[in-house]
Structure 1
Amino acid sequence: MQSKLCLTQKELARRWAISHRTLERWRWTGEGPDYLKLGGRVIYRIEDITAFEAAALRRSNASQSAQVS
C-alpha cells in the first residue's frame, strides 16, 4: 500500500487536532507550513509538514537544566 504524499487542509487539521480555520489563518499570516494551491484546493505535501513539525520541536526544560548542573 502506497502512503499518501499530500494531505488536504482538513486532514492536516485532524492530524494536529486543530481547526481548519487555524490553518487558513496561518496561510494568511505566513505562519504555517508551505502549501500548494491546485485547482482551488489547498494541499500540504508530507515533506513540508514533517519539516514544519521538526522546526517546531522543542526540548523540555528538564533536559536543559540537567545539562547545566
Structure 2
Amino acid sequence: MAPQTKRYLNEIVAAQIVGLSPRTLQRMRHEGWGIPYCRMGLRRIVYDADEIEKWATGRTFRHRAAELAKQVAA
C-alpha cells in the first residue's frame, strides 16, 4: 500500500471548495480564525485538504439550536 501523501491546495481552490472568496480567506487569516493554513514562502499560502474538511465538519449542524448550543458552550 502506498503511503498517504498530503494534498495542499492554493487559496483560490480552497476558497472554491468552501464557497468563499479568496479575499474572505485572507481576512480570516488576518483576524486569526478560519481554516488552518501553511505558509510555504513569503507569499505562498496553501491549505491542507484534510484541514479544510475538518473545518467544515466542525461547522455542520442538524438544526439552528445545535449551532446556538455550541456557541454558548464556547
What's the TM-score, normalizing by structure 1? Answer: 0.74
Q: Identify the match of residue 21 of structure 1 among 15, 23, 32.
A: 23
CA distance in 2, matches of 1:49, 1:9: 11
When the two chains are superposed, the root-mean-square deviation of aligned CA atoms in Å is 2.1
Aligned residue identity for 2:45? V
Contact 2:9–2:47 at 8 Å: present in 1 too?
yes
Deviations 1:21-52, CA, capped at 9 Å, x for gaps: 00000001112111000022000001111110
Gaps of at least 5 residues in structure 1 are 62-69
Aligned with 2:33: secondary structure?
coil
Q: Identify the match of residue 46 of structure 1 among 46, 49, 53.
A: 49
What's the TM-score, normalizing by structure 2? Answer: 0.70
Runs of 4+ residues over 3 Å off in structure 1? none
Gaps of at least 5 residues in structure 2 are 65-74
CA distance in 2, matches of 1:54, 1:30: 19
CA distance in 1, matches of 2:54, 2:19: 18
